[in-house]
Amino acid sequence: YLVVAMIPFFMMRNVWFQSIGAVQANSGLFGYRQVKPLDAMISRMIVECTVYMAILGVLLSFLGWLGRNVVPDRPLEYFGIMTVFVLLGFGLGLLTTVASHNRPVVASVVRLLSSPLYLLSGVLIPVSSFPQSFHKYMLWNPFLHLVELTRVAYFASYHPIMGINLSYPLSLGVALLALGLLAYWVNRVQL
């Protein structure tokens, strides 16, 4: 229950945070004309996704060895939702990278503000344990939708709260990616 939601959330968060530091950490490579800051961010995203998929494989193998059922009920849907997590993380990473370039305080503030997202996304605390009057406000969090959908895809018997859908986080992820690429394109020389 925890692993199937934690791994995608942490993968998204690390894609987001590692994208912020990718430009500064790889600035020496930008002396080569072929290497662009976007290349460094994409390579960090690929590394983070690979690492977290390996971690998921190891954890599920261990749980399978303990006798647990580790095969998702809808595996393609589960990995599709993980892709939307990465899309959101990379879009946020692009926007935060541009906003925090030469302003390290912005990156620190973003990292601090992301902690409540983890708690309010239902990764550790089930959303059903919150009062029902708060659900309509919690549904503004796209990660809550994705966490609930990962559990729905993994466990056929899981029932999410009312209002959960994939279209909201997917459209927000595409919009963030488009805004992030636009901001990157405008600021590519400074980066």
Residue 25, token pair as written in the block: 């950490």
Q: Which amino acid, one-letter code, is at 180?
A: G
d(CA 171, CA 101): 26
Q: Average pLDDT of the chain?
A: 90
* Nearest of 8, 23, 162 to residue 104 by alpha carbon: 23
Q: What's the pLDDT at 23?
A: 83
Q: What is the DSSP letter of 125?
A: S
> pTM to 2 decimals?
0.88
What is the model's pLDDT at position 70?
Answer: 86
Rounded Cα distance between 191 and 189, Å, is 5
Confidence of residue 152 (pLDDT cuts 50, 70, 90): very high
Distance CA 48, CA 105 (A): 24
Q: What does the pLDDT read at residue 86?
A: 95
Give dist(CA 116, CA 129) in Å, integer.
17
Alpha-carbon separation of residue 105 from 59, 102, 109, 110, 115 (angstroms): 35, 9, 6, 9, 16
The per-residue pLDDT for range 21-35, each reduced to its tens digit, is 888 888 888 888 888
pLDDT tens digit sequence for 56-99: 999 999 999 998 888 889 999 999 999 999 999 999 999 999 98
Q: How far is CA 59 from the centre of its chain?
A: 19
Residue 121 is which amino acid?
S
Q: What is the CA radius of gyration of the chain?
A: 18
The pLDDT assigned to 24 comes to 82
* Contact (Cβ atoms closer than 8 angstroms) between residue 168 and residue 142: yes
Q: Are 38 and 13 in contact (CB under 8 A)?
A: no
Provide the pLDDT for residue 168.
Answer: 95
* Residue 90 to residue 92: CA distance in whole angstroms: 5
Tokens of 157: 């018997």
